[in-house]
Chain A
C-alpha cells in the first residue's frame, strides 16, 4: 500500500514531464492518462475617447496564457490544473495570475445513486440568465478581466454531489475567501476613487479564513430545469467604504466583505422555440449604498426566442429580453436595480462557427444605455478570433456607478491560439 501511495504521488510529476517531452493525450503504460491543452491569446483594447482621469491610457495590449493539465488514474480519479496569467501593458493590476482550477475528482456509486467529490480549487456556475449572474455566488468575480463580470477567480472548496432519480444535491465547504480584483490608477473602466485592494476589511474576525457553506438542490423534469440554493458566509460582493486621509478628505475606497446569507432560485422552462428564465435571490446581512443594513430581494426574468434555420439557411437567430429588478432601488449596490436588457444573437452555424451578438442594457431610472457587440469566428483548427465593442450611451451623471466610466467605451480585438 505504502509503495503504491508513494508511486501515485510521484507518478503525476513523471507523467507531466514525459507528457511535455513526448507530447500529450497518450494513454501511457503507467496507467495514468495525461492531457495538456489550453489557450494563448493576444489582446488589444482601444479607447477612442480621451480619459476622464489622469494616468489612464487610450490603448492597452497584452496576452493571456491559460493552460490545462489533466491527469486521470485507471481507478477513475482525476486531477485538473488550470493556472492563468495575464499581462496588460496599461494597468499593472490587470497584469495578474490566478489558479483557476486545481482539484482532485473522485466519484462512485451509492446504491441506485451516485456520489462525486471535488476537493481543491474549482469554478462553479449557477444560473440561466444572460445579462446578470444573480444566483451565482460560489466564486469571486475576476472583475478586472471584463466589465461583463463573467470571469471568475478559482475558489478553494470541498464539493460533494449526490445525485439520483430524485435530483442533484450539492454541499460546499468554502474555507477561504478571495478578494475581488479592481482596476488600478492607470486602468480604464474604474471608479473615480481608486480601490485599495491590499487592505480589505472583513465583518468576520476570521477575515478571509471564515468557513462558508453552501447547499444546492437541482432537478429537471419535462421542460423544467430548477435549482434552489443557500449560501452562508462572506459576501463575494465588496462594499466600498471611503478611506479618509489625514486632512479628512476621502482618499480612496476600501473593500469591505460582510457576512451574508443568500437564498437563491433559478429556473428555466424550455418550450420549443421559447426559453423562459428566472433567477431570484433574498440576501440578508449586507449594507446598501447608504451604508445601512438592508435585507433585500432581487430578481431577473427573461425570455429567449430562436428562429431556427432562418431564411432556409443553417443560421439561427435569437432574440433575448430580460428584466433586472432590485428592491433597494437607488440604494442597490449592483448596477441592475431596474434595467431592461435586449439582445440578438446570430449564429451562422458555418464551418467557422461565425457568430454575432449585440446587446443593450437600458436603465429604467436613468438615461444610461450600455451597448455591447461581439463577433466570434474560428480561423483554423487552432486559431480563432473575437472582436468586442463596449459603448456607454447617454450617461447620466446621477448614475453613480456608470458615470465614472462614461468615457471608457472600447473596441477589443483578440486572437487566440488553442492547443
Chain B
C-alpha cells in the first residue's frame, strides 16, 4: 500500500508518469487479474481468510458443548480454551475441562505444526501425570462430541489442497464455495466443502465427507462477532452427524484477545499448573 500512495503522490508532479502508471498496472495484475485456475483461486481465498486472522497473538474463551444423541438425550461439557499464535509455525492450543466433574482439571495441550505431525499432551490431575499422546487420533471424537480432534485444532492453510468451486448465496450473504482436501493421511476426511462469505471470508458452513466420500457431517457457524475491530469469531457452532443422527452444539463466550498468555503457558510445566 505504501508504494502505491507514494507513487500516486509523486506521479502527479514528477516526470516519469508513464513509469508510475505501468507500476500500478503491474501491481494490480500480480494479484487476481490473470486467468486464475480453480486451485489457485481456492488457495488464494484460504490464504486471504487466514491472513485476516494474523496478529491476534493469543486469546482465551469459555466453551460449552451440548451433545445430543438421536433420541434427543443431552449431555453437557464445559471447558476453557486458550490459543497462542505462533508466527512461523502452527498455533498452540490448551483445553481445560471443567465439566463433567469427573474429568475436571484434565487438560489437553496441542502444539500444531505446519509440517509433520502435531505434538499433543494430556494432563491427568488425579495422577498428576503428563502423558504424551499420539496425534494419529486426529479423526477421533473430542470428548464424545461430533467434533473430531482435527476440527478443534488450528486449520492451517498448508494442511489442505484447495479448489474453488462456485459462488453461491448463503443466507443474506454471498459465499465462495471452496473444496479442500486434507494432506494428512491420518485425517478422517476425504474432503471438505467450505462456504466463505465474500464480505469477511468467514467460514459459514462446512460439509465433511468421510474417507468413503459420504457426506457425514455439517458444521454451521453462526453469531459471528468481531473483536479488536479485526478478528471474527463464531459464538455458536452446530455440528450435525447425518450418519448417526447425533449432534453437538458448541457455544463460545467471554472471548478475550491479546491477554497476558505467553509461550510459557503452553509448556509441559504450564500444563501441570493449569486450573
Contacts and interface: CB of A to CB of B under 8 A. Distances in A.
Nearest to A418: B101
A418 to B, nearest CB: 4
Contacts of B76: 381
B101 A351 contact: no
Contact of B275 (A35, A109, A274): A35
Nearest to A224: B132
Given A114-B269, A353-B144, A378 B134 contact: no
Contacts of A194: none
Interface stretch (B135-143, B152-160, B166-174): B135-143
B268 A37 contact: no
Given A116-B273, A381-B99, A418-B101, A308 B136 contact: yes
A387 interface: no
Contact of B100 (A105, A123, A271, A381): A381
A95 B251 CA distance: 45
A104 to B, nearest CB: 13
Given A350-B144, A351-B144, A382-B100, A275 B273 contact: no
Interface residues of A, number: 48
Contact of B127 (A109, A150, A163, A353): A150
A416 interface: yes
Contacts of A419: 101
A168 B101 contact: no
A166 interface: no
Interface string A111-139: 00010100000011100100000000000
Interface string B217-245: 00000000000000000000000000000
Interface string B121-139: 0000001110111111101
Main secondary structure on A side of the interface with B: strand
B64 interface: no
B119 interface: yes
B104 interface: yes
A225 B131 CA distance: 10
A150 B124 CA distance: 13
Given A268-B132, A272-B134, A309 B140 contact: yes
A220 B102 contact: no
A56 interface: no
Interface string B94-116: 00000111111100000000000
Contacts of A37: 101, 104-105
Contact of A308 (B67, B132, B140, B275): B140
A70 interface: yes
A23 to B, nearest CB: 14
A350 B188 CA distance: 18
A72 B273 contact: no
Given A116-B269, A418-B104, A273 B127 contact: no
B97 to A, nearest CB: 11
A384 interface: yes
A78 B269 CA distance: 15
A80 to B, nearest CB: 9
B102 A418 contact: yes
A353 B105 CA distance: 16
Contacts of B141: 314, 349
B69 interface: yes
Nearest to B131: A128
Nearest to B99: A381
A346 interface: no
A220 B268 contact: yes
A270 B269 CA distance: 19
A43 to B, nearest CB: 15
A382 to B, nearest CB: 5
A316 interface: yes
Contact of B134 (A125, A168, A218, A275): A275
Given A270-B134, A272-B117, A351-B69, A124 B128 contact: yes
B264 interface: yes
A44 interface: no
Given A275-B132, A353-B102, 10 more contacts: A70-B275, A109-B264, A150-B127, A168-B268, A223-B117, A273-B134, A349-B140, A351-B73, A351-B75, A384-B100
Interface of A: 35, 37, 39, 70, 72, 78, 105, 107, 109, 114, 116, 123-125, 128, 150, 161, 163, 168, 218, 220, 223, 225, 268, 270-275, 306, 308-309, 314, 316, 349-353, 378, 380-382, 384, 416, 418-419
10 contacts: A125-B127, A125-B128, A150-B127, A270-B132, A272-B136, A306-B134, A306-B137, A308-B139, A353-B102, A353-B144
